[in-house]
Structure 1
Amino acid sequence: MDVFDQIISGATPAEVILRTDRFIAFLDVRPVFPGHTLVCPLDHYETLYDLPVELYAELLIAARRIGLAQQAPLVADGTLLVTNNVVSQSVPHDHLHVIPRRRKDGLRGFLWPRSRPTVEELRTVGDQLRAALTDEEAR
């Protein structure tokens, strides 16, 4: 049982912001900014790809509710939604970070390093992904 399962069961305290029939949202104990909230399913799914497809919309709806709630009291200009899938996933329980953002809040390097691929490199990767999507649809 991971720490999120413990929070869900009530064995570990957390600052719960929202709880629905399928999801819980609670404040991150190591926030990027105040109000940084984690939204995770009540049922244990290790990664985003383990989460049943029919729950994706509900996950985003919960994240939307949290993001909108962050705006006024936290004077947030926007929201950063982030999920890790295996790499850098510190808790093996699917979760979505809802992080309030402000212009010039100092968050840098989060989605870097970035590159400048050539048109041909972009085309090659695009071809690979389109082929993988076609293979997926054929299954």
Structure 2
Amino acid sequence: MTIVTKIINREIDAVIIYESENVIAFADHDPINFGHILICPTTPYATFIDLPACVHDEITQVARDLYQRIEFAFKPDGISFLQNNGKFNELSHYHLHIFPRFDADNFGWQSGDIGIQSIDKLRESLACL
């Protein structure tokens, strides 16, 4: 049983922002900033590709609504979305992070060591797609 399932079953307390038969959204317990929310299917799909289209569509609709609500409530400099799969999905349950961003929040992107690549190298690396 995943942490999300325990929240859905009310075995773990959470600040629930939205809930339907297929989707739940709640505050992240370790937020980047206040207003950091996880949007999850109520069924424990592991990855993005596992989501049925109707669940994906509802998650997107909830994200659009929450974007506007976060913008109004927190007046951020921007809003970020983050979604991890495979071993980077620590919950073993699909979830989409949405959170307000501020200039001084110290959240950032750290690239690997491969550095900036030429167009030719990028084209070559993606030829198999």
What TM-score do the two structures reach when normalised by structure 1?
Answer: 0.83
C-alpha displacement at 1:104, in angstroms?
4.1
Hey, what's the Cα distance between the residues in 2 that align with 1:71 and 1:25? 17
Hey, what's the Cα distance between the residues in 1 that align with 2:51 and 2:110? 24
C-alpha displacement at 1:122, in angstroms?
1.2
What's 2:91 paired with?
A: 91
User: Does structure 1 retain, via aligned residues, the 8 Å contact 2:27–2:36?
Assistant: yes
What's 2:60 paired with?
A: 60
Hey, what's the Cα distance between the residues in 2 that align with 1:42 and 1:13? 16
Aligned amino acid, residue 76 of structure 2: A
Hey, which bits of structure 1, 4+ residues long, moved more than 6 A?
A: none
Aligned amino acid, residue 10 of structure 2: G
What's 2:76 paired with?
A: 76
Question: Can you give the 5+ residue segments of structure 1 that lack an aligned partner in the other structure?
Answer: 130-139
Moved more, 24-33 or 65-74: 65-74
User: Does structure 2 retain, via aligned residues, the 8 Å contact 1:75–1:102?
Assistant: no
Question: Can you give the 5+ residue segments of structure 2 that lack an aligned partner in the other structure?
Answer: none
What's 1:103 paired with?
A: 103
Please tell me whether Structure 1 or Structure 2 has the larger radius of gyration of its CA atoms: 1
C-alpha displacement at 1:20, in angstroms?
2.2
Hey, what's the Cα distance between the residues in 2 that align with 1:24 and 1:48? 16
